[in-house]
Amino acid sequence: MKITRILAYQVDLPLQEGSYSWSGSRRIEAYDSTVVRIETDSGLIGYGEVCPLGPAYLPAYAAGVRTGLKELAPHLLGHDPTEVGAISRLMDQRLRGHAYVKSAIDIACWDVLGRAANLPLVTLLGGRSGEAVNLYRAISQDTPERMAESVARYRADGYRSFQLKVGSDAATDIARIRTVKADARAGEVIVADANGGWLTHEAARVVEAVRGVDVYIEQPCLSYEECLEIRRRASQPLILDEVIDGTGALLRAGADRAMDVVNIKISKLAGLTGARVVRDLCVALGIAMTIEDSGGSDIVTAAIAHLAHSTPEAFRFNCSDCNSYVTKAIADGAPRRVDGRMRAPDGPGLGVSPRHEVLGDPVLVVE
């Protein structure tokens, strides 16, 4: 099988809540998502999606996706998309770095592979573990009271796990954690995610002030070394996210026992091929995972669901239904949240069918 044509679509995805805020006064009102369509000489077609969380979250930005695709796509024509490992190596040979650019292509190749095999990706990625995957809800940064109200709203939607966006001044963050915890129900999971927003003196104050409180601390500081320092001071379980951007970072952190949970964002790891390696290494190292991505809608959510649902249940800390954060559905058949959980689709490949009336005309055609 050969790739004959690669197309890209740009789609604006307004956020359900109107806006989303996190540390460092970062805020967005809509996602700028890119959908990739890979056509083959067999007639099989695959789709992928990638969506940075604005330009200031990870070293990724939406226009960069499209520029990178223009650079990379011509090199892929004529190659077999079902050979996902070979495609991944080829992309690394032709474009150094820029994992996020490669992510949508990699997901689309996996989609073609699943359709060719007539199997859902959850099967090809290891097989379904458990009935469904648990979802968390990110709680946009706001006053302690408004964040507690937001938790109550999402609790009513069925979520049992909440990730509070902290990482501003220590006193306010301590109040955010205490206010939400005061109203938490038995069995709920509360994560305080600073997104690297604290210096170590601020992080140290927060973890000391909430010592003995059943809460997880996520990515307290910007650098790995600062996070390791807080890991040594904190009594709470620690989650690393932004600094785990590949196998090297994971193996170093694994050897340092620097965290209890790792967040696997598919686009940070160049797609399902790279994310699967990190997922399997986490299992080997005994580290639980949140499986997610930086943003996007139905196609990203389907990819997350297949990777998460094929991850051994005991290692799944959390998972994200990105498509419930946005107002626009871009594909039919995507996972939908039921009682705070979702499951990987049963159809071949990703198991989703894009809505072409929403995607519009392609912004890039390479043939």
Pairing of strands 316-319, 216-218: unpaired
Stretch that binds Mg ion, among 34-42, 70-78, 240-248, 277-285 (CB under 5 A): 240-248
Q: What six digits make up the tokens of 113?
A: 């592979």
Least Å from the CB of residue 218 to Mg ion: 5
Q: How far apart are CA 9 and CA 331, in angstroms?
A: 13
Q: How far apart are CA 363 and CA 301, in angstroms?
A: 22
Nearest partner of 199 among 223, 217, 183, 175, judged by Cα? 223
Pairing of strands 3-14, 364-366: antiparallel
**Cβ distance to Mg ion smaller for residue 22 or 47:** 22
Q: What six digits make up the tokens of 297?
A: 């809608």
**Cβ distance to Mg ion smaller for residue 241 or 321:** 241
CA torsion, points 16, 348, 86, 254, in degrees to nearest 10?
60
Least Å from the CB of residue 27 to Mg ion: 16
* Selected catalytic residue, list 102, 181, 265, 268: 265
Q: How far apart are CA 128 and CA 330, in angstroms?
A: 25
Q: Which residues, numbered 172-201, are part of the site for Mg ion (CB under 5 A)?
A: 193
State the amino acid at position 188 in one-letter form. E
**Phi, psi (rounded to 5 degrees) for 208:** -70, -40
Applying CB under 5 A, the site for Mg ion has a residue count of 2
Burial (CB count <10 Å: 0-12, 13-18, 19+), residue 170: buried
Single residue of 173, 226, 241, 293 touching Mg ion by CB under 5 A: 241
In the complex, residue closest to Mg ion by CB: 241
How large is the angle between the packed helices 62-76 and 99-117, nearest 10 degrees? Answer: 50
**Cβ distance to Mg ion smaller for residue 45 or 58:** 58
Least Å from the CB of residue 89 to Mg ion: 29
**Cβ distance to Mg ion smaller for residue 193 or 298:** 193
Q: What letter would DSSP give residue 125?
A: T
Nearest partner of 74 among 1, 162, 6, judged by Cα? 6
State the amino acid at position 304 in one-letter form. I
**Cβ distance to Mg ion smaller for residue 84 or 166:** 166
Q: What six digits make up the tokens of 189?
A: 């999971």
Nearest partner of 191 among 236, 222, 158, 253, judged by Cα? 236
292 binds Mg ion (CB under 5 A): no
Q: How far apart are CA 201 and CA 222, in angstroms?
A: 13
Q: What six digits make up the tokens of 208?
A: 């000391």
Q: What six digits make up the tokens of 147?
A: 């964040």
Least Å from the CB of residue 290 to Mg ion: 8
Active site (annotated) includes residue 165? yes
**Cβ distance to Mg ion smaller for residue 38 or 230:** 230
Least Å from the CB of residue 163 to Mg ion: 7
Stretch that binds Mg ion, among 25-33, 198-206, 238-246, 320-328 (CB under 5 A): 238-246
Least Å from the CB of residue 211 to Mg ion: 22
Binding marks (x or -) toward Mg ion, 135..174, rule CB under 5 A? ----------------------------------------
Least Å from the CB of residue 223 to Mg ion: 15
**Cβ distance to Mg ion smaller for residue 167 or 271:** 167
Active site (annotated) includes residue 265? yes
Stretch that binds Mg ion, among 2-10, 24-32, 235-243, 310-318 (CB under 5 A): 235-243
- Interface residues with Mg ion (CB under 5 A) are 193, 241
Active site residues: 165, 265
